[in-house]
């Protein structure tokens, strides 16, 4: 019996306290539910919140749906992330631009907009940080749809 190595996925937003940790939690849960071996992490293009737990509003919205944010702490994207991860998913186009600017050329093909090409109502995950609680629920709705569409394709790679 051969055990497939995990698919390595990095979720990225600006501060790594709202969108990317929520994406990490959703994809981790859904991958486990589907039996997909995944090694997932999240990071931010900026280090403003380094060492902090995810935003309490993001945690509350996610935990209400059964997602765990246990042991998550904000960190900035590191140069070695580009070599380590198979997929680097960005929350929005500014994140894609920031990642592309810091990424060695041979790894740029790994950077993708998480929602792009999925046929959802938007290609970008809006930042709920300055809005109300409904923004966090909307982010969860988008990420749950993205996980349903992206994870099966990752299983076959």
Which residues does the annotation mark as catalytic? 13, 19, 127
Identify the CA nearest to 108 among candidates 99, 117, 119, 121. Answer: 99
Which positions ≥6 away from 43 have C-beta within 8 Å?
Answer: 10, 11, 12, 16, 20, 75, 76, 77, 78, 81
Length of the chain: 157
Identify the CA nearest to 136 among candidates 72, 67, 61. Answer: 61
Instruction: Give φ, ψ of 19 to 5 degrees.
Output: -70, -50
Sign of CA dihedral 145, 146, 147, 150: positive
């Amino acid at each position: 019996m051969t055990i497939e190595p995990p698919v390595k996925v990095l979720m990225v937003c600006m501060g790594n306290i709202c969108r990317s940790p929520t994406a990490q939690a959703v994809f981790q849960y859904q991958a486990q539910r589907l039996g997909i071996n995944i090694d997932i992490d999240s990071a931010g293009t900026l280090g403003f919140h380094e060492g902090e737990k995810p935003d309490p509003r993001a945690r509350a919205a996610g935990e209400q749906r059964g997602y765990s944010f246990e042991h998550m702490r904000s960190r900035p994207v590191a140069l070695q992330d580009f070599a380590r991860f198979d997929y680097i998913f960005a929350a929005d186009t500014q994140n894609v631009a920031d990642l592309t600017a810091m990424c060695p050329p041979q790894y740029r093909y790994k950077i993708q907009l998480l929602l792009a090409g999925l046929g959802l109502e938007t290609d970008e995950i809006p930042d709920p940080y300055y809005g109300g609680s409904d923004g966090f629920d909307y982010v969860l709705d988008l990420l749950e749809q993205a996980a349903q569409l992206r994870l099966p394709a990752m299983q076959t790679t």
